[in-house]
Structure 1
Amino acid sequence: MNDELHIPQTANDRKPEIGMKFASIDDAFEFYNQYAREAGFSARISNSKKNKMNEVVWKQFVCFKAGQIDEVRSKNRASSGGPIKKRARGEVRTDCKAKISIVKQQTGPYWSISLFTECHNHGLSTPLKVHLLRSHRSVSAAKRVLTQQFSEANIPTCQQMQLMEIEHGGPESVGCTERDIRNLERDMRDEQKGINAETLVEFFTSEKEKNSSFFFDYETDSDNRFKRCFWADHKSRSAYNVFGDVVVFDSTYNTNKYGMIFTPFVGVNHHHQTIMFGCGFLSDEKTESYLWLLNKFMEAMPTRAPKAIITDQDPAMTKALAQVLPKTVHRYCLWHILNKFPEKISAVTFREHYQSIKNVIKNSTSPEEFEHGWKDVIRPANLIVGSC
């Protein structure tokens, strides 16, 4: 029996021993996890028991591969009518028996080891790979701050990991993987998105109070996360009344920080200057989202539908336009059309015949004129162009 209170210090301190004491459950798990890292396996918290006062008096820590194998779980799900899910990777659970149990001392606020099973029924990880196991990976507070700074500077995650590996002397010393950093970035985006979404709505509400002609609306999903919004100020709405015959609707702008799609509605005034009619943010490019956005646009511009609208070749957007603006002439943006040609023909051929291709697309006034001109372009250029 070991009556000395044990304080976890280093990863290679020593093996667990029955009777070893700890000040808390966290200290006990930290010690077992350090031992697991040295031994080459991942640890996790398992079962617990409570007394009549609803206090935890017994706790168990096990090897991560403890428990039933996935095939048994799949059979259990199948027998209960649940779906059978096949794993593409190897089995996670091997019913490993390695574990320790700790019990709370009656004579003091201490915990002691009551059971230690050392043997595993699977191979253990090597020192060079043990850092990849789940219980030995964590993103520290310092790395969280550093990741946030990297993200704000638009440094890709893969480059962030390279910098951390250089700083810590190798991937095994970083303490986390690239996936951990990506998950952290996702969580920070969701957290920041919620805060900034509230700020955005507050700003819109403030603008509406200043000028009743300011229009905005937004939606959240079932988890109350910001999903989409549209807004147009009084100047934009007035400009649409004069110059709204032709509208350009573009959804090719993505925000790096929040992963949302910026969708401006723009036009051209009598000075050939680009003017804004309204703006939106979308969390996806589904037909449902475009239907919502186009309906809000028409709600903000109730005078009339545009005579023509120019978009990229997004199928979901095309479908939505046909439903919301059935009488509006829909045209695809020339830049997006021409941008697809290098995918169909060689760059050299496209560069040599670019002007001819552009002229026949831009200046044809009827389908018949286009077909005739297109044949004249293809023949000398010897082009084989698929559907663009």
Structure 2
Amino acid sequence: MSDSNYHTKTDSQLVRKLNFEDEDSPLVIVEQPEPISINSKDKIHANVEEEVIPKLGIEFETKQEAYDFYNSYARVVGFSIRRSKGHKGDKDGSRKWLDRVSFCSCEGIRGNDKRDDNVKCHRLETRCGCLAEMKISCRYGEKYCVVKFVSEHTHVLASPRKRIFLRSQKSINPAQAIEAKLADSSGIAPRASVGLMEKDGRMKLDYEYFGDVVCFDTTYKKNKEGRPFALFVGVNHHKQTIIFGAALLYDETSETFKWLFDSFQKAMFGKKPQTILTDQDATMAKALASQWPETHHRLCVWHMYQNAAKNLK
């Protein structure tokens, strides 16, 4: 293990007690005990369940299963992994991997590149010669077996809050991949998706402060299929219109409104508005009486004026 992970006894690591009132007082130096390596085996596995830790002799049906197991262990401990060297050969009439090694992503040292002199912004150095690895082999059996495991690291491990950002821990399911592809084909960049999620958090924060009175409107806009676009709108302390939430409804039945109000309440951590303003829709009123009976239901004056202008002569 690298010596960089061990604390050496230097002047900067000694506690010095000074008495400024007495000029002749001697300098008192108290030596602190030397700590152990921050990433020793005992330290790493202190809070890790036994069945998650790789052990010599564990067998896997496929090398992908072995990789997933080691990656799950890496997620718990706090590091990223990558596949590295291995050997292929003929076995049982087919060519397959005879052994494979999965390394910590900090393994090795970045080599020199003749183009480095022309680079203005150098990438951050992420490799520090870490020796942590897990090697599997199927040379002596039908299944892949763990033949080597090194748990010690030569670098600081990621905290629990940052482990989801490690490269090998990032993954998307097939549905998310299809959605991302559709968004890209529609011209929606990843940055726009992140902006939408940021606005969603802002809506929840606004609702927490200004969600006592909510105006619910399904007549704001309709798409070409004729499906109503529903908005939960409010007013902040600057008398500015703010949006708490939105939904694209398939129809305007009572069951649809019940689902919508229930989903909105769950998204807002169970908080219900004290007063809600709507149009004169009977199915909406029925859904409100069922889902939010304690909320005061009032009709929007603007809709009343519009209906009066259309129906009264």
TM normalised by structure 1 equals 0.34
Q: More helix by proportion, 1 or 2?
A: 1
Q: More strand by proportion, 1 or 2?
A: 2
TM normalised by structure 2 equals 0.42
| Higher normalized contact order (CA 8 Å, seq sep 6+, divided by chain length) | 2
